[in-house]
Chains A and B, each alone.
Chain A
Amino acid sequence: MKFRHLFSQPKSGILSDELKFHFEQLVQQKIEAGASEGEARRQARVEFGNMEKAIDDTASQYPGWWWEVLRQDLRYGLRGLRRNLIFASAAVITLALGIGATTAVFSVIDRILFRSLPYAHDERLVSVGLVAPIMPQEFMLGNSYYVWKESQTPFEAFTSWSGVNRCDLSEANPAHLACANVEADFLPTLGIGLVRGRNFLPEEDVPNAPHVALISYGLWSSRFGKAEDVLGKTISIDGDMNRIIGVLPPTFELPSLEHADIVVPQRVDQAAQRRPGATRIMNAMGCLKPGVTAAQAAQMLQPQFEQALSLAPPRFRAEVRLRVRSLRDYQVHDARLTAWVLLGAVFAVLLITGANVSGLLLARAAERDLEFAIRKSLGASRWRLLSQMLAEALLLSAFGILMGWLLSEALLRFFVRIAPQSIPYIDRAHLDGRVLGFAIVVAILSGLAFGSAPFWSRDLLGKRIFGNRAGASRVRARQILLVSQLSVTLILLTAAGLLLRTARNLQNQALGIRTGQVVTATVHLNRQQYPHALQRMQFVARVEERLKQIPGVNSVAVSDSVPPGGLRHDRIIGVIAVEGRPKPEGGTGGNVVWRLVTPEYFSVLGIPIRRGSGFTEQQRNSNDHVVILSEAMAARLFPGEDPIGKHLNLSERPDNNPWYSVVGVAANAKNSGLVTENEPEYYKLWRNREEDWYSNFAGLGGGLLANFILNTPTNPEVLASVIRSEIGTIDNAVPIEFETMRQHVSSLAERPRFQAALLSLFAALAIVLAATGLYGLLAFIVSRRTQEIAVRMALGAGKQDIVALISRDGARMVGWGILLGAAGALAISRTYRALLFGVSAGDWSTLLSATFVLLLAGALAMWVPLRRAMSVDPMRALRCE
């Protein structure tokens, strides 16, 4: 390498020795020509010209010269940054926070809003169905589905599936799996290809066809070691032998995002469904013809919709609507607003970061104007100066990017850890290369643009030595940047405040049930091990008896579901008949929640019985049909009457169903999650009679769920192991899930907490950045006006005058920031009203607290520059001039 020797010692050293020799010879020549030494040197210097330029020109002959210059510039830049450590760290931290936070959050949001779905017909897939107040998720009934499938016009293909149920792999290594039930043309309609094997044939999707199954890629790997000969093998699912005919791709996911290990044909009896009164619930999906929108499709489906309505029970007709929406909307429904709010916050923080870094670089540029003016007049070429400025800006960007990258990795991990399961895709979120790339490009460009600011003001270079004029326009630019920063910060603070109050309101609301010292243990008795209702009843009775014996357990209740959220039974009020009254006409009357409970239920959960009495142990062993109503339900059915002793028929067909006597009225308890309005509720006694122990929920594969609710001060973890061993002595193969009531309630508030946490993070970030920006600008103004302050002091201005002089600037900016920010906050908070609970979007106290926090941060930021202004020593400052 020819140029190696150039770097082995400092380049300019060798060169300047050589040039110095040349220069000395020139001087010598002048002396020999008769000039005095001083005069000879002067003449030689004029004749010789620009030594620095000659060195650069000569060095530039070598390949790799640019690299050496770059190294030199970087070294120089590094030295400059080390000398201005506060500036450098402020800029790097700002960049890192901006890049890190925005990249991490965007990586999460991108999965929700923008990622492409793993279906070939991604953009054309829609979910189709009916919605009613009591069925907010679109659904179809078997009797109309097949008519629609044949007569529809907007779709290339129309298919259905019937959800996921628990299923058991009943072989040598039994396992609890999830099985999805789909129509034969489900996979091709969505555009899902298989990695091995083939899709279902139409003749495999009929009742009594031989069982076939597709297995997930995960199951293929874990259970079959990706063996090629898996096709044709059989697996035993819930006791039936299923032939494996294909393997799903690793990217496979159901439209509902539920997990599925096995996909089987839903094997619907079409002939039976076509008969009136068939009520199988199906989920329908369509692949739109090219050029047809979801709204047009809904229009084109009107005739089919009318037909479906005519089949529905009359009371449904007024409330049912048709819905056609994109698969993406179907998947993320209520996460969408969250995602947009977070996206807004991301842009706000990015804006603030940009403003801050720009402000910092402009301040640095103003400081260096003088340095560059002097160096230019000493003969440095403009391009050399520019490259030095850019080197410094690039160094800042590089450090900022590196730290930002690390920060975004850490933040993303943190988000995934604290995020609730209900945020779609969160577990699969990973750092998005494109987003990081974008943030990096923004960082570099802003660094280049503002880092080279002194270069572009070259016409001012000469004047800079004497005047401060160039600074004025930059101060104005920074003031505008800062006001926008402060106002965006206020908007973020307000949003964070509103969401924090929402999370607190949700968790602190009166639930009407006891949450302390309550533990639930849920068991699932499946169809294989407990095929008979009596076996199930006996198992639950034995467990209940044993749990009651555990020392420290005050009481034990059994129910088929647990409030305030999660699984529960629903019924429309319209079908409930009251003895001695005509059957209600028209309208569904809304929804009512119901549960099967044992007598202890009310005391364990602390739900008081307001009228009448609770259930008794005698009733439990009798054939009585008794019911307890919630106050809301009682008020609904018996306004102004005493419901005790009244008789109700709780089902569609009064002739087949017994009449239930109302024995009591219980206080209302939260029963529809934390956010949604409470619904009326009734409780049926869970009796020791065979008829009460059939499968109690759809999707259990014919099994039964039972919850043991314990009231005990014992440590829940200790209790869990005791319960496990107690149940284990009866049957150690039954899966048990533990949860304290506190955990249950807390898990329902996870999503609002997550939103509040993210937005608080952003708001904190914003306020730190804005305060740093304010501090930086004021410090800059003070250092610029030192002489003015000194003159004023010398002329007799007191400290308070100086404080007023300087703080006026800061106060004006904060004032404008608050004014604009408050207006913005009020306007913007409307858009995320739906995320709030127990606090209104225009809540004044939240806005005021946010303003107060901003003022406090502003005052802190102004404190140091003000002190510096007050401590100006007039004598010293003036002597500098």
Chain B
Amino acid sequence: MGDLLQGTLDLLILKTLALDSMHGWGIAQRIQQVSKDALQVGQGSLYPALHRLELSGLISSGWATSDNNRRAKYYSITAAGRKRLKSELADWKRTSQAIALVLQEG
């Protein structure tokens, strides 16, 4: 999924984790479902992004047992992550509105 901008993927991950803690596979599936298969997140960009977010303290992780009884690494959003999500969302809205205005003008 090379088409998504890096910042956008971060935003999608934070938004997804804001609902519930989830492992990498779950996050990818969830983004795909919600976007009605329009956005497919490959492991090649997902895991670098997850580790980057964890490193900057926006999400945290821990090992737990998954639904089908396998050990999986679960990610959850931190307080800093929620704050970042809020400001990023506001930014996103402003930017997309602005882009929409420019596009409608034409």
Contacts and interface: CB of A to CB of B under 8 A. Distances in A.
Interface of A: 2-3, 15, 17-19, 21-22, 24-26, 28, 48-50, 53-54, 57-63
B25 A53 contact: no
B55 interface: yes
Given A49-B43, A61-B51, A21 B68 contact: no
Contact of A15 (B25, B28, B47, B72): B47
A21 B47 contact: no
Q: Which 9 pairs from chain A and chain B are nearest by CB?
A: A25-B25, A61-B52, A58-B47, A61-B51, A58-B48, A57-B48, A18-B73, A22-B25, A21-B72
Contacts of B68: 28
Contacts of A59: 51
A2 B57 CA distance: 10
Contacts of A49: 42-44
A15 B47 CA distance: 9
A62 B24 CA distance: 18
A33 to B, nearest CB: 13
B36 interface: no
Contacts of A15: 47
24 contacts: A3-B55, A17-B73, A18-B24, A18-B73, A19-B43, A19-B47, A21-B23, A21-B24, A21-B66, A21-B71, A22-B43, A22-B47, A48-B43, A49-B42, A49-B43, A53-B44, A57-B44, A57-B48, A58-B47, A58-B51, A59-B51, A61-B51, A61-B52, A63-B55
Given A2-B55, A57-B48, A60-B48, A21 B43 contact: no
A5 to B, nearest CB: 10
Most chain-A Cβ atoms within 10 A of its Cβ — which of B47, B68, B73? Answer: B47
A36 to B, nearest CB: 19
Nearest to B23: A21
Contacts of B23: 21
A24 B24 CA distance: 12
Nearest to A59: B51
A18 B25 CA distance: 9
Nearest to B25: A25
A21 B70 contact: yes
Contacts of B51: 58-59, 61-62
Contacts of A25: 25
Contacts of B24: 18, 21-22
A61 B73 contact: no
Interface residues of B, number: 19
A428 B52 CA distance: 58
Contacts of B47: 15, 18-19, 22, 54, 57-58
Nearest to A21: B72
B43 A24 contact: no
Contact of A61 (B42, B43, B44, B55): B55
Contacts of B72: 18, 21
A17 B66 CA distance: 14
Nearest to B53: A61
Given A2-B55, A21-B25, A61 B48 contact: yes
Given A21-B66, A21-B73, 13 more contacts: A2-B55, A17-B71, A21-B24, A21-B71, A28-B68, A48-B43, A49-B43, A50-B44, A53-B44, A54-B43, A54-B47, A61-B52, A62-B55
A61 B52 CA distance: 6
Contacts of B43: 19, 22, 48-49, 54
A3 B72 CA distance: 20
B21 to A, nearest CB: 15
A17 to B, nearest CB: 8
Nearest to B56: A2
A57 B44 CA distance: 8
Contacts of B25: 21-22, 25-26
A50 B47 CA distance: 13
A852 B21 CA distance: 82
B70 A24 contact: yes
A51 to B, nearest CB: 9
A61 B51 CA distance: 7
A63 B52 CA distance: 10
A502 B66 CA distance: 88
A22 B71 CA distance: 11
A63 B55 CA distance: 9
A775 B30 CA distance: 65
A696 B48 CA distance: 93
A22 B72 CA distance: 9
Contacts of B52: 61
Interface in B23-69: 23-25, 28, 42-44, 47-48, 50-52, 55, 66, 68
Interface string B70-86: 11110000000000000
A3 B54 CA distance: 11
Nearest to A28: B68
A869 B55 CA distance: 59
A294 B40 CA distance: 84
Contacts of B55: 2-3, 61-63
B62 to A, nearest CB: 12
Contacts of A58: 47-48, 50-51
Nearest to B63: A17
Nearest to B57: A2
Contacts of B28: 22
A1 B86 CA distance: 28
Nearest to B61: A18
A19 B55 CA distance: 18
Nearest to A63: B55
Contacts of A28: 68
A55 to B, nearest CB: 8
Contacts of A26: 25
Contacts of A17: 71, 73
Given A21-B25, A61-B55, A62-B51, A54 B70 contact: no
B38 to A, nearest CB: 18
Contacts of A19: 43, 47
A17 B47 CA distance: 12
A513 to B, nearest CB: 87
Nearest to B46: A22
Nearest to B68: A28
Contacts of A57: 44, 47-48
Contacts of A48: 43
Interface string B10-27: 000000000000011100
A439 B96 CA distance: 61
Contacts of B50: 58
Contacts of A2: 55
A448 to B, nearest CB: 30
A17 B63 CA distance: 11
A61 B24 CA distance: 16
Contacts of A24: 70
A630 to B, nearest CB: 94
B46 to A, nearest CB: 8
Nearest to A24: B70
B48 to A, nearest CB: 5
Contacts of B44: 49-50, 53-54, 57
A53 to B, nearest CB: 7
Nearest to B40: A47
Contacts of A60: 48
Contacts of A3: 55
Nearest to A55: B47
Nearest to A26: B25
A43 B55 CA distance: 32
A428 to B, nearest CB: 56
Contacts of B70: 21, 24
A49 B66 CA distance: 24
A59 B52 CA distance: 9
A18 B51 CA distance: 11
B3 to A, nearest CB: 16
A62 B54 CA distance: 10
A21 B22 CA distance: 13
A58 B43 CA distance: 10
Most chain-B Cβ atoms within 10 A of its Cβ — which of A26, A53, A54? Answer: A54
